[in-house]
Structure 1
Amino acid sequence: MNPTYDFSGQVALVTGAASGMGLAAARAFADSGAAVVLADRDPDAVHKAAEEITGSGGRAIGVVCDVTDEQQAEAAVRAAVTEY
Protein backbone atom coordinates (compact mmCIF):
# COMPACT_ATOMS: atom_id res chain seq x y z
CA MET A 1 0.00 0.00 0.00
CA ASN A 2 1.42 3.36 -1.05
CA PRO A 3 -0.38 6.16 0.75
CA THR A 4 -0.56 9.54 -0.95
CA TYR A 5 -0.18 12.80 0.88
CA ASP A 6 -1.23 16.33 0.06
CA PHE A 7 1.14 18.93 1.45
CA SER A 8 -0.27 21.78 -0.64
CA GLY A 9 0.03 25.04 1.26
CA GLN A 10 2.69 23.59 3.57
CA VAL A 11 6.42 24.22 3.81
CA ALA A 12 9.00 21.51 4.52
CA LEU A 13 12.52 22.31 5.68
CA VAL A 14 14.73 19.31 4.92
CA THR A 15 18.28 19.02 6.23
CA GLY A 16 20.95 17.04 4.44
CA ALA A 17 18.91 17.74 1.33
CA ALA A 18 21.66 17.89 -1.29
CA SER A 19 21.88 14.12 -1.67
CA GLY A 20 20.76 10.73 -0.45
CA MET A 21 17.78 10.36 1.83
CA GLY A 22 17.52 14.11 2.42
CA LEU A 23 17.16 14.78 -1.30
CA ALA A 24 14.69 11.92 -1.65
CA ALA A 25 12.60 13.41 1.17
CA ALA A 26 12.75 16.89 -0.39
CA ARG A 27 11.59 15.48 -3.74
CA ALA A 28 8.76 13.57 -2.06
CA PHE A 29 7.54 16.70 -0.24
CA ALA A 30 7.71 18.70 -3.46
CA ASP A 31 5.89 15.98 -5.39
CA SER A 32 3.18 16.10 -2.71
CA GLY A 33 2.69 19.86 -3.15
CA ALA A 34 4.87 21.33 -0.41
CA ALA A 35 7.20 24.26 -0.89
CA VAL A 36 10.60 22.92 0.13
CA VAL A 37 13.58 24.55 1.78
CA LEU A 38 16.60 22.36 1.12
CA ALA A 39 19.37 22.83 3.68
CA ASP A 40 22.87 21.39 3.33
CA ARG A 41 26.51 22.28 3.98
CA ASP A 42 27.45 21.90 0.30
CA PRO A 43 26.51 25.15 -1.47
CA ASP A 44 26.82 23.91 -5.05
CA ALA A 45 24.96 20.66 -4.41
CA VAL A 46 22.09 22.20 -2.43
CA HIS A 47 21.46 24.89 -5.04
CA LYS A 48 21.63 22.31 -7.84
CA ALA A 49 19.12 20.10 -5.98
CA ALA A 50 16.74 23.05 -5.49
CA GLU A 51 17.02 23.91 -9.19
CA GLU A 52 16.21 20.30 -10.07
CA ILE A 53 13.00 20.48 -8.03
CA THR A 54 11.95 23.85 -9.45
CA GLY A 55 12.80 22.61 -12.94
CA SER A 56 10.31 19.80 -12.39
CA GLY A 57 7.58 22.27 -11.45
CA GLY A 58 8.07 22.28 -7.68
CA ARG A 59 8.70 25.20 -5.37
CA ALA A 60 12.08 25.06 -3.66
CA ILE A 61 15.00 27.09 -2.42
CA GLY A 62 18.41 25.91 -1.33
CA VAL A 63 20.13 27.32 1.74
CA VAL A 64 23.62 26.63 2.96
CA CYS A 65 23.36 25.37 6.51
CA ASP A 66 25.45 23.34 8.92
CA VAL A 67 22.84 22.25 11.46
CA THR A 68 25.50 21.89 14.16
CA ASP A 69 25.79 25.70 14.08
CA GLU A 70 22.81 27.25 15.86
CA GLN A 71 23.10 30.55 14.00
CA GLN A 72 23.07 28.80 10.62
CA ALA A 73 20.05 26.73 11.65
CA GLU A 74 18.23 29.89 12.72
CA ALA A 75 19.13 31.52 9.39
CA ALA A 76 17.69 28.54 7.50
CA VAL A 77 14.39 28.88 9.37
CA ARG A 78 14.36 32.64 8.71
CA ALA A 79 14.93 31.98 5.00
CA ALA A 80 11.98 29.59 4.99
CA VAL A 81 9.69 32.09 6.72
CA THR A 82 10.85 34.96 4.48
CA GLU A 83 10.42 33.01 1.24
CA TYR A 84 7.17 31.21 2.04
Structure 2
Amino acid sequence: MARFPRTEAEVIALAEAMITGLTANAVLYPAPPGAVLDLTNAKTVSNMALILLAVSRLFCSFVEFVFQQAAFYFAVVEYHTARSF
Protein backbone atom coordinates (compact mmCIF):
# COMPACT_ATOMS: atom_id res chain seq x y z
CA MET A 1 0.00 0.00 0.00
CA ALA A 2 1.29 3.44 -0.86
CA ARG A 3 2.20 5.79 1.94
CA PHE A 4 2.53 9.54 2.06
CA PRO A 5 6.14 10.68 2.49
CA ARG A 6 7.19 11.69 5.98
CA THR A 7 10.53 13.43 5.54
CA GLU A 8 11.26 16.64 3.69
CA ALA A 9 13.47 14.82 1.18
CA GLU A 10 10.70 12.29 0.45
CA VAL A 11 8.13 15.06 -0.07
CA ILE A 12 10.43 16.92 -2.47
CA ALA A 13 11.14 13.67 -4.33
CA LEU A 14 7.40 13.03 -4.63
CA ALA A 15 6.84 16.58 -5.89
CA GLU A 16 9.55 16.15 -8.52
CA ALA A 17 8.13 12.78 -9.60
CA MET A 18 4.61 14.22 -9.90
CA ILE A 19 5.80 17.22 -11.93
CA THR A 20 7.88 15.00 -14.22
CA GLY A 21 5.13 12.42 -14.69
CA LEU A 22 2.38 14.90 -15.47
CA THR A 23 4.44 17.04 -17.83
CA ALA A 24 6.08 14.08 -19.60
CA ASN A 25 2.74 12.38 -20.26
CA ALA A 26 0.81 15.22 -21.86
CA VAL A 27 -1.13 12.71 -23.98
CA LEU A 28 -2.52 11.03 -20.86
CA TYR A 29 -2.92 14.28 -18.92
CA PRO A 30 -3.70 16.98 -21.51
CA ALA A 31 -5.07 19.33 -18.87
CA PRO A 32 -3.39 18.52 -15.56
CA PRO A 33 -4.86 20.25 -12.53
CA GLY A 34 -3.67 23.77 -11.79
CA ALA A 35 -1.92 22.39 -8.75
CA VAL A 36 0.97 21.33 -11.02
CA LEU A 37 1.88 24.98 -11.54
CA ASP A 38 1.54 25.60 -7.80
CA LEU A 39 3.78 22.63 -7.14
CA THR A 40 6.39 23.82 -9.62
CA ASN A 41 6.38 27.32 -8.12
CA ALA A 42 6.55 26.00 -4.56
CA LYS A 43 9.46 23.75 -5.46
CA THR A 44 11.27 26.68 -7.05
CA VAL A 45 10.79 28.75 -3.92
CA SER A 46 11.70 25.71 -1.78
CA ASN A 47 8.97 26.47 0.71
CA MET A 48 8.13 23.19 2.42
CA ALA A 49 4.66 24.28 3.53
CA LEU A 50 3.74 25.31 -0.02
CA ILE A 51 5.13 22.05 -1.40
CA LEU A 52 3.05 20.01 1.06
CA LEU A 53 -0.06 22.01 0.23
CA ALA A 54 0.47 21.65 -3.52
CA VAL A 55 1.19 17.91 -3.27
CA SER A 56 -1.94 17.44 -1.17
CA ARG A 57 -4.08 19.39 -3.65
CA LEU A 58 -2.65 17.48 -6.59
CA PHE A 59 -3.22 14.16 -4.86
CA CYS A 60 -6.85 15.12 -4.12
CA SER A 61 -7.35 16.17 -7.75
CA PHE A 62 -5.95 12.85 -8.91
CA VAL A 63 -8.20 10.88 -6.54
CA GLU A 64 -11.21 12.87 -7.75
CA PHE A 65 -10.24 12.13 -11.37
CA VAL A 66 -9.95 8.39 -10.63
CA PHE A 67 -13.38 8.32 -9.01
CA GLN A 68 -14.90 10.19 -11.96
CA GLN A 69 -13.38 7.67 -14.37
CA ALA A 70 -14.62 4.76 -12.26
CA ALA A 71 -18.15 6.21 -12.19
CA PHE A 72 -18.06 6.60 -15.97
CA TYR A 73 -16.95 3.00 -16.53
CA PHE A 74 -19.56 1.67 -14.12
CA ALA A 75 -22.22 3.64 -16.01
CA VAL A 76 -21.02 2.14 -19.31
CA VAL A 77 -21.12 -1.38 -17.88
CA GLU A 78 -24.57 -0.76 -16.42
CA TYR A 79 -25.83 0.57 -19.76
CA HIS A 80 -24.52 -2.40 -21.72
CA THR A 81 -25.78 -4.86 -19.12
CA ALA A 82 -29.27 -3.36 -19.28
CA ARG A 83 -29.27 -3.52 -23.08
CA SER A 84 -28.27 -7.18 -23.15
CA PHE A 85 -31.45 -8.26 -21.35
Q: Which has the higher strand share?
A: 1
TM bucket (normalised to shorter chain) is: 0.3 to 0.5
Q: Larger radius of gyration, structure 1 or 2?
A: 2
**TM-score, structure 1 normalization:** 0.36
**TM-score, structure 2 normalization:** 0.36
